[in-house]
Amino acid sequence: MTAEKLKELIAEMTLEEKASICSGADFWHTEAVERLGIPASMVSDGPHGLRKQDDKADHLGVNESIKAVCFPAGCGTAASFNRELLTEMGKVLGNECQAEGISVILGPAVNIKRSPLCGRNFEYYSEDPVLASQIAGALIKGIQSKNVGTSIKHFLANNQETRRMSVSAEIGERTLREIYLAAFEGAVREQKPWTVMCSYNRINGVYAAENKKYLTDVLRDEWGFDGYVMSDWGAVNNRVADLQAGLELEMPSSGGSNDRLIVEAVKNGTLEESVLDRAVERILNIVYRYEENRDASAVFDRDKDHEAARKVAEETIVLLKNDGILPLQEGKKVAFIGKYAKTPRYQGGGSSHINSHKVTSAMDMAAGNPAISYAQGFCDEEDKIDQRLMEEAVECARQAEAAVIFAGLPDAFESEGFDREHMRMPECQNELIRQVAGVQPNVVVVLHNGSPVEMPWIDSVKGVIEAYLGGQAVGGAEYDILFGKVNPSAKLPETFPLKLEDNPSYLNFPGEGNTVEYKEGIFVGYRYYDKKKMDVLFPFGHGLSYTEYTYSNLQVSAEKLKDTDSLTVSVDVTNSGDMAGKEVVQLYVEDKVSSVIRPVKELKDFAKVELQPKETKTVTFKLSKRAFAYYNTQIGDWHVESGEFDIMIGKSSRDIVLTKTITVESTVELPVVYTADSIMEDVFKNPKAKEIVMKVMEGSASFLPQEGGEGSSGAEAISMEMQEAMMRYMPLRGAVGFGSATMEDVQALVDKLNAL
């Protein structure tokens, strides 16, 4: 529908009809206006499968949804570092939506993993905003290519489940811009999601739903978002204020009560009808975008999509440790131990829970293979050692040539709705691993979890595989990687710390009462661990392969450039091993000298390249100003300081293999306003200002540094270094106390400096 026709349609609507459009008709549908032929539109939970519900209202998965296909959760898909893979996954999801009459799938979820304890981390992508935003954008691209909308969520700063409907995330503007907003920004600017879902929480005291600064000023005016903003289910707190701030659609239905508040506000003049008209236009534009692009031929082929989910899972499994034990040899006597070998934990709990049409386990794949034995080992209903199961597992491992333990976190340990209390696995599972390792030297642990865990047994096993929550086909992917039919290629999208107390948010998560302070600032994840030079269990970007990759010939298009120029970076990657595989090339940038506190390095781009044995390919990146900038709150914009930057190519944040230094010249001179409180060190950064100040201060014997007489007590008490330091940190007004100037003189000096 054209913009003109849409406006004509809205002009025909009554005030009450327009208000109704801004609210859901029920839990999953927008409101229809039959009189004018305006259709209802259905949305469905996602983002890694359809949780379509036709009947009973239910947001958290209590009531049964249709049989569907569960793809790997966000924690795993981010580990793929593969944009193309996510786009293909998105196309499958988009086709499923078309087949099921879904106009918008609720996802992707891109909130930053601030703490390993966040109960919803399994659904989120990364601790790094570039990775989160790029993976989200790739999924959006795929889904929306099928003329189905996405709802990127949860905007903004929804980084915990504790008090998520009331807590205020207290975050500085620079931190918001560089970390938490940045996770959304790239995806919104580049892929234009049809909708955005606002979060429950407050940001610096203002509820997300009525936060005009972020819903309108940033999201629309800066980033160019042109869809509609919907509330998280029940996130509306003040309907009229929310509408004015930029929240168009309230979900679910308020039963008409909030519609009446909108009508009353228009009638009494507290809400301009043009604001309501604009909201209706934004909603209906999306409704008709879907309706006019329905694909009547779309078929939800669940078995075919199951195989697609398996292909995705293959690239979401991270090989963390391999002391020569993997891949396992076919025919070797292997014990599969642990409940998750037969009934894998492959998804998280809550609104994204999929009613899978089938599930493939590792034991399903082992059917008919007499070389593989099985023992359950543990129950996950409670953290309690079952001595009989433990003994059976130990004996099973003793009689094998190798043991693979399928362990991880049960549903009771991580889910939407609550945060984890610690970073430990169930003790019954840790003890199982210890006991098996005590009788079997060849042990591999396969983990099923949505966020990092501590590994007290790490030195007792030869291999560790992080399967994350790999979707309903996870068993097939695990089996093929264990036996070398697939070469692992995933990398960690988050740091695994040695212990919870090492995490930068540890002292400030989940906050006090209804306030949580993000005191770690921009130092989230690897930014913190690298800055502190802390040992970690596994670093961000880490992941092993069954082959070897070598890097060479790092080239840059210029060694000196302005911040308005772009920089092309290329590097050759060679598969120097004997097995085909895919390597994730990671590009980090370091600002070598900065006047502001910055991380040691930050991920700025990445690429995944497939290589046959002995094959070499050139990987190329293009960097713009943003790759070198920090967010300057003084000017309210991104700023590059002139100086040297290191372009780093790495296999992880801790494994940098090639580095090249370039010089970037800033084209923006930051405004400087001098006051009587400006210290000499800052004033002297401007040569002209320094010259003026030194002329004024000449002759002030007590102010300028001077040497004491030889052997004098003054020389012993006050060194030249001390005097120079005191002068550097002296405010201009210090000339009054330490020199012969008056405050009038100081003010005249300040005026002269500001006139430069």
- Dump pLDDT digits (tens) for 646-684: 999 999 999 999 999 999 999 999 999 999 999 999 999
Give the pLDDT score at 694.
Answer: 84
DSSP code, position 563: T
Q: Average of pLDDT values for 173-182? A: 98
Please state at what angle helix 182-191 crosses helix 129-144, rounded to 10 degrees: 30
Query: Does 232 qualify as catalytic in the annotation?
Result: yes
DSSP code, position 553: E
What Å distances lie between residue 642 and 246, 480, 625, 629, 682, CA to CA? 38, 50, 12, 10, 17
**Nearest C-alpha neighbor of 21 from the set 390, 287, 219, 416:** 287
Structural domains in the chain plus CATH codes: 42-246 (3.20.20.300), 549-665 (2.60.40.10), 680-754 (no CATH)
Question: Tokens at residue 357, please?
Answer: 């049409």
CA distance 278 to 273: 9
Q: Average of pLDDT values for 722-732? A: 83
Residue 528 scores a pLDDT above 60: yes
Catalytic residue, chosen from 232, 419, 480, 605, is: 232
Per-residue pLDDT of 57-86, as tens digits, reads 555 554 679 999 999 999 999 999 999 999
| CA atoms within a 13 Å half-sphere pointing along the CA-CB vector of 387 | 0
Per-residue pLDDT of 683-725, as tens digits, reads 998 999 999 988 877 755 445 555 444 555 555 666 777 777 7
Give the pLDDT score at 739.
Answer: 66
CA distance 106 to 103: 10
Burial of 26 (0-12, 13-18, 19+ CB in 10 A): middle
Reported as type and span, the H/E element at residue 475 is helix 474-482
CA distance 72 to 122: 10
Grade residue 215 by pLDDT with cuts at 50, 70 and 90. very high
Question: Tokens at residue 552, please?
Answer: 């060479």
CA distance 743 to 745: 5
- Residue tagged 């893979």 (tokens): 85
Task: Determine contact, residues 381/314, Cβ cutoff 8 Å.
Answer: no
- Phi then psi for 316, rounded to 5 degrees? -110, 0
- pTM score, whole prediction: 0.96
Residue 44: beta bridge partners?
A: 105
